[in-house]
Structure 1
């Protein structure tokens, strides 16, 4: 288990190019583009959402990953949550392995109870442009995420619902959390309209289904 700490910032669409230039200038090099396709799973009754957790299968250029997260705490854009992540053989969840690693009783119980009823609920598809910075002795991974959340909603009138993804994430990889706030403050001064965002991509997916 790891504790994920990151600051999420909503990026105005008209500031995307400026944000990319700012990161390139600070890093002295262009970022690395990674395309990420993600499917989020829950039961029809949303057992995992009720347990304040999220389950994701992600396709990366290096293979498939499964990730289980607790919602945790989000305030002023800073997200702190438990995370269990591991590679899987292919496009299928391996719940037994997650249950073996998950050491938080409440969310583990929810995942165990949901295992046989899991269905894909929504997906996210986005390009992540990545940089790694040394900030006051800490290592921070910065990214600009551009894409969309997509939910297929069945019912009397089936429809495909979409919502844009346009955000910056600053994830602490090593060192003091203060580095996140330092880098976020630098960005806020450089990019008008940049605002803290307490809503995760998973939460956006659930809200899209409920809209």
Structure 2
């Protein structure tokens, strides 16, 4: 089990300003990749009710599955458990994920949900990433720009729902939380309008499934 720590910032302005900031800070251009994610749950959203999210991600020709807990989010800092494994292709491999998951409650919820899992929503975005160092700590900073897609069903008909993605994530790879917070403050100071965001992409996707932006 890994503990993921990251600060998420919403970007109301032009994402090119954020790209320019990280290029100046790192002295290097970012690495851009197209990221496609499908999120799975039961029709009655059992995993969401247990504060979990199950994702299948494609980057290039590689596929990975991830189970995350919602954890805690405060003032933009997200701290959560996650289990992530490579998979052979565009399908979940639940047995291997259950074998990796070392939290009894999470494993029980996934076991209960497994027979009824279906794709509920997706997130598709271009991620531009940099590796950075500050205050004896290492970070990965990314700018994500794209969309969340979901389909609500009413009367047997699908009603597509969409919401934009335009945000920054700064993940702590090595070091301490204070250094992460200090670096995020630098980002906010450099990008007028950037604000800390406590709602994850997965949580926004579930809001779309329920018919709310």
TM-score bracket for this pair, using the shorter chain length: over 0.9
Which aligned pairs between 1:25-104 and structure 2 lie closer than 5 A? 25-104=24-103
Q: In 1, are the aligned partners of 2:152 and 2:210 still within 8 Å (CA)?
A: no
Match for residue 20 of structure 1?
19
Q: Kindly state the Cα deviation for residue 158 of structure 1 after the two structures are TM-superposed.
A: 2.2
Q: Distance in 2 between matches of 1:105 and 1:155?
A: 36
1:39-75, Cα deviation, whole Å (9 max, x unpaired): 0000011110011100000001250000000000000
Q: CA deviation at 1:188?
A: 1.2
**Do the aligned residues in 2 keep the contact of 1:140 with 1:179 (CA within 8 Å)?**
no
The 8 Å contact of residues 128 and 145 in structure 1, kept in 2 or not, is answered as yes
Q: Aligned residue for 1:130? A: 129
Partner of 1:174: 174
Query: Could you say which residue in structure 1 is the equivalent of 2:108?
Result: 109
1:38·1:56 contact (CA, 8 Å) conserved in 2?
yes
CA contact (8 A) 1:123 1:205 kept: yes
Contact 1:41 1:119 in 2 (8 A): yes
Matched, 1:202 2:202: yes
**Alignment TM-score, normalising by the size of structure 2:** 0.96
Could you say what the CA RMSD is over the residues aligned between the two structures, in angstroms? Answer: 0.9
Once residues 179 and 196 of structure 1 are traced to their aligned partners in structure 2, the CA distance between those partners, rounded to angstroms, is: 16
Shift of 1:183: 1.2
In 1, Cα distance between equivalents of 2:125 and 2:10? 15
Moved over 4 A (4+): none
1:164 alignment partner in structure 2: 164
User: Secondary structure of the residue that 2:192 maps to in structure 1?
Assistant: coil
Q: How far apart, CA to CA, are the structure 1 residues paired with 2:188 and 2:63?
A: 34
Name the structure 2 match of 1:119. Answer: 118
Distance in 2, matches of 1:88 and 1:16, equals 32
* Alpha-carbon displacement from aligned partner over 1:145-170 (angstroms, at most 9, x marks no partner): 00000001222242110000000000
Q: Any gaps of 5 or more consecutive residues in structure 2? A: none
Return the alpha-carbon distance in structure 1 between the equivalents of residues 83 and 107 of structure 2.
11
Q: Does residue 140 of structure 2 align to residue 141 of structure 1?
A: yes
Alpha-carbon separation, structure 1, partners of 2:89 and 2:189: 43
Q: Structure 1 unaligned segments of length 5 or more: list them.
A: none
